Amino acid sequence: MCTSITDGLNSKQPDIAYHPDEAKYHARTARRLAEDPSLPDVSLPDGFPPQVEGPIVWDGSDWADEDQWVYQLSDAELKEIGAALEHFKGLL
């Protein structure tokens, strides 16, 4: 089981889910700034690029349509995922 910083067990695992949660982001930012108000003034580590460039960088103008970035699962794939989920739930 993975624990979060907020559970009181001093775990280093942040409370970050797959889907972004703006409220948690703001709470985490406020908590980190309360713990260390100098964080915004800390420079990047040595070797960390000040700007990322190259083919891995994209912006809004690269977005043609959703089909370019989103994979649509077929009914068979969704059924397979559902069956796997039910299997693993049954193991608990």
- CA trace torsion 82, 87, 90, 92 (10° rounding): -100
* C-beta separation of 28 from 14 below 8 A: yes
Query: Is the whole model's pTM more than 0.75, yes or no?
Result: no
Q: What pLDDT does residue 10 have? A: 54
Distance CA 4, CA 11 (A): 6
Task: Name which residue leads in pLDDT, 90 or 62.
Answer: 90
Q: Which amino acid is at 2?
A: C
Distance CA 50, CA 35 (A): 25
pLDDT tens digits, one per residue of 38-81: 999 998 899 998 888 888 888 888 888 888 778 899 999 999 99
Residue ranges of domains in the chain: 5-90
Distance CA 29, CA 23 (A): 10
* C-beta separation of 77 from 85 below 8 A: no
